[in-house]
Amino acid sequence: MLAERTIIACIAPKKNRKSKLPYDWYLYKKWHLIENMFAKLKDWRRVAIRYDRCAHTFMPAIHIAASFIFYLKE
């Protein structure tokens, strides 16, 4: 069904797969960075279990966590 729509997969196939499917390496790299960021955000308990129910208080918590993660990365 994806081939009919000319959609290329962005997740890399397993290394031991016999027939290698083509994928967009650059798009996979970007996807992987986003997935890793969500995984790091979930390490923050306040963000993971969503203490703040309102969007106007939850979003700043995500911003603080993301900026702290970025700061620790450097």
Entry pTM: 0.61
Does 26 share its domain with 52?
no
Does 31 share its domain with 59?
no
Tally of structural domains, the chain: 2
Does 31 share its domain with 56?
no
What is the distance between the alpha carbons of residues 24 and 30, in angstroms, rounded to a whole number?
A: 10
Instruction: Please report the DSSP string for the chain in residue order.
Output: -TTTTTPPB-SPPPTT-SSPPPB-HHHHHHHHHHHHHHHHHTTSHHHHTTS--SHHHHHHHHHHHHHHHHHHH-
Give me the tens of pLDDT residue by residue for the chain, a chain 74 residues long: 777 888 777 777 788 888 877 777 888 888 888 888 888 888 888 888 777 788 888 888 888 888 888 888 75
